[in-house]
Amino acid sequence: MILKDFQLNAVSKLLTRSKELLEQISSKKIIFKSPTGSGKTLMIAEYINRLINEKSNKNNVSFIWTTPRRTLTDQSKKKIDNYLKKLRSVKTYYFQDLIDKTIPENSILFLNWESINKINKNTIIRENEEEFYLSKVLENTKDKGRQIILIIDESHHHATSEISQKLIKDISPKLTIEVSATPVLINPDEIVTVNIEEVKLAGLIKKSVKLNYNFKNSLFKNRINSALSKGSEQFVIDEAIKKRRELKKKFSDLKSKINPLLLIQLPDNIKGQEEDKVRIRVQEYLEYKYNIKTQNGKLAIRLSEDKTNLQNIAKNDNEAEVLIFKQAIALGWDCPRAQILVLLRNWKSLNFSIQTIGRIMRMPEIKKGHYSKEILNHSYVYTNLSDISLKEDQARDYVTIYSSHTKKKIKLTSYSRIRQREQTRLSPIFNEIFLKEAKKFRLDKKIKINSSKAKISLISDKFELSTDQFIGKKIIGDKYNISSETELQQIFDFFIRGNLSPFFPEDRSVGRVKEAIYKFFKIYLKIDYEKSFSKIINIVLSNDNIQNFVDLIDIVKNKYVLETEKRKDEIKENKAWTFPENLTFTGNFTELKTKRSVMKPFYYDFKWKTEENFIKYLENSSKVEFWFKNGDRDQTFFAIPYEYGRQINLFYVDFIIKLKNGKIGLFDTKSGITIDNAKEKSDGLQKYIKKMKGKFFGGIVTNSDNENFKGRWLLFNKSSSSLSSKKLDNWENLKF
């Protein structure tokens, strides 16, 4: 699994700060705040791997990983094992697996927090004659000079109670890392945050969650009022089923087999007969109107007393269309194809937070990221609740409660970026080039396989580096013997890092080269890595073969540089861009009454006074037919190219205006220092207008009175060499 840029950055921040805190005398706390779907578990796994294997790390550490429930504990351990298995540097244990009554060095002990909270009943906590209980194991571990790092996963569920706080105190870790989208620990020594926008841009989660889409919503003092609150239980289900079918059709249009899942969530505040009544009522309606029932596999149930049709439900093409569940039961449950959530009126009230929507945030195919059909890049919540409050957390910037629409069309040439990120690190095309060049190089004919043994001195001498830092032993000539598979892996990594220049020797790039070598052995020599990785490494690093691999890697790097030069970030042209048919907005926006806006109704965030007053100017102009307030992201909005620092960038112009005489204006509002910083954008805009010819006009716009906006509206449409916020006499009056 290859980590994304934002994940690698977060790991680096965690690593740097935790190493500093581990050197201090007292115990320390770090909060790792990262949204649902961002890959928190994998980031922590990579952090542990790096902390253990970094040459500069002198700490002797053991880890305790706690989760709220046993199911999540098993799930986390499975993910960690899967991620770290090829590294062979980290061992994972349940408590009963600790043979010598200590937590071994460089290992992770997984604990189910819910069970160890039950002090009187739990055998892990209770003292016994065998002296095999948690406090004794901790004592033994610390006696061996190991620092304990406590990782509290999904901390908002289990880290605040009095018993939990006592347990944390009893564990007395050198470093505590709280991992959550909504952290709860107070007075941390460091906070490492993953921004939700980064996760969206990486295509791991939906762009937004739309609340009661196509129904009129309003927000007042953080309380949401929706027209759907007047709808019946059946009507809400109907709307959700209709959306599910629409999504299914769009996936089919893309030749995708994804079967989007609709979740009907029963509230935690109803139990017993009341819960049964709601559930039976919902099931009967689903069967009666839609033939969705457990018998035909289209309905799944995940409740404490009933788990039906859950096998393989997370598979993207599973036949289940609807799942009835409760949030408490579903903690830690991941099903990326889940895309619609229904909350019925049986909820007495709902504090709408990022945790509420966590189950429907993930993208179903993370390798593909977001889809070309925009409807598939969002999730949907339908509810007839009349008492909904919007929590002041990430949900406020993620849940869209307003929607606006247009039927107006325009035809403009817009631009978007096709991202290529192979310039500083290795991408999958390295593997393709390696295998191709290995064939030309006739590597399979040149290397010797039999009786090959890694010769460590060759590596140490070649790169003028000492390997003692990463295996703890000094190598002198050929006298050092590799004593474990872990050390062999570390030495192999060291060899590859030494050969990576000019590319940054990060784990991702090291992994690419290793993967390319393993594929070569499997394809050309029929030696499988999974069964014979030690044999492969010994062959590569032997006296007879090492130079052949050094030479080949060098050839491949040069070819790779040439290939990626051709693939630098490309700008894609769309000659038929038009206004988006609909847009959605979060609770940070407010409806602004307008007559000439393309989007109806028009929502605005009132961030910029110049924009706000320019909108008033447009509304009062008898020459304006309509105007569109442009956005600043992806292919949804209009963008033009401009050059800055020898690189092509995209400029999302603030306003697209159509006059009644047919002319189209492109305007970007600026004031003060933002005028001085707009030189390259201004030139790019004028170049675009000149290229389009004819009916296009526009430029940078400002008001001569930037305090009260009672002055003249001015237009700059010349060369940026004379653009200045302190010199407005070369601007022209804007009149239309």
Which pairs from 249-257 meet CB under 8 Å and 24+ separation? 250/373, 250/375, 250/376, 251/376, 253/373, 254/371, 254/372, 254/373, 254/376, 256/365, 257/316, 257/317
| pLDDT at site 456 | 62
Query: pTM, whole model, 2 decimals?
Result: 0.73
Kindly state the tokens that stand for 525. 């020599």
| pLDDT at site 623 | 94
Q: In this predicted model, what pLDDT tens digit does every residue of 693-703 receive, in sequence order?
A: 778 999 999 99
**In this structure, which amino acid lies at residue 721?**
S
The label of the residue with tokens 């004919």 reads 445
Burial of residue 175 (CB within 10 Å: 0-12, 13-18, 19+) is buried
Average pLDDT, the chain: 85
Question: 622's torsion region: left (phi>0), alpha (psi -120 to 50) or beta?
Answer: alpha
> Distance (Å, rounded) from C-alpha 112 to C-alpha 74?
9
- Mean pLDDT of the 327-355 span: 78
| pLDDT at site 466 | 39
Count of C-beta atoms within a 10 Å radius of residue 298: 18
pLDDT-derived band at 425 (thresholds 50, 70, 90) equals low
Q: What is the set of domains in the chain, with CATH numbers?
A: 5-200 (3.40.50.300), 203-405 (3.40.50), 429-566 (no CATH), 572-733 (3.40.1350)
Answer whether residue 478 shows pLDDT above 50: no
Q: Which of 256, 225, 436 is nearest to 336 (CA)?
A: 256
For residues 490 and 321, the model is more confident at: 321
Answer whether residue 618 shows pLDDT above 90: yes
Q: In this predicted model, what pLDDT tens digit does every residue of 121-175 receive, in sequence order?
A: 566 777 777 888 888 999 999 999 999 999 988 766 655 556 667 778 888 999 9
pLDDT-derived band at 487 (thresholds 50, 70, 90) equals confident
> Distance (Å, rounded) from C-alpha 440 to C-alpha 433?
11
**β-pair partners for 597:** 627
pLDDT-derived band at 316 (thresholds 50, 70, 90) equals very high
Which region among 266-280, 496-510, 551-565, 637-651 has the lowest average model confidence (pLDDT)? 496-510
Which region among 209-218, 425-434, 656-665 has the lowest average model confidence (pLDDT)? 425-434
Answer whether residue 648 shows pLDDT above 70: yes
Contact 28, 175 (CB under 8 A): yes
% of the chain residues with pLDDT over 70 = 88
Q: In this predicted model, what pLDDT tens digit does every residue of 52-94 receive, in sequence order?
A: 877 555 668 999 998 877 777 888 888 888 887 765 668 899 9
Answer whether residue 500 shows pLDDT above 90: no
Which region among 171-185, 342-356, 581-595, 611-625 has the lowest average model confidence (pLDDT)? 342-356
Kindly state the tokens that stand for 520. 């070569």
First to last CA, the chain: 56
| pLDDT at site 544 | 87
Q: In this predicted model, what pLDDT tens digit does every residue of 222-276 receive, in sequence order?
A: 788 888 988 999 999 999 999 999 999 999 999 999 999 999 998 877 777 887 8
> Distance (Å, rounded) from C-alpha 545 to C-alpha 445?
11
Number of H helices, E strands in the chain: 20, 32
| pLDDT at site 565 | 63
For residues 505 and 184, the model is more confident at: 184
Q: In this predicted model, what pLDDT tens digit does every residue of 505-545 receive, in sequence order?
A: 667 788 889 889 999 999 999 998 878 888 898 899 888 88
Task: Name the phi and psi angles at 493, rounded to 5.
Answer: -60, -40
> Distance (Å, rounded) from C-alpha 81 to C-alpha 90?
9
Q: In this predicted model, what pLDDT tens digit does every residue of 454-477 receive, in sequence order?
A: 766 555 444 444 333 444 443 334
| pLDDT at site 468 | 39
| pLDDT at site 251 | 96
**In this structure, which amino acid lies at residue 111?**
L
Q: In this predicted model, what pLDDT tens digit does every residue of 436-448 receive, in sequence order?
A: 999 999 999 999 8
> Distance (Å, rounded) from C-alpha 237 to C-alpha 380?
12
Q: Is 209 helix (H, G, I), strand (E, B) or coil?
A: strand
- Strand order from edge to edge, sheet including 28-33: 91-94, 107-112, 61-67, 147-153, 175-180, 28-33, 190-193
Q: Which of 106, 48, 51, 124 is nearest to 79 (CA)?
A: 48
For residues 286 and 489, the model is more confident at: 286
| pLDDT at site 465 | 40
Q: Which of 127, 151, 153, 131 is nearest to 143 (CA)?
A: 131
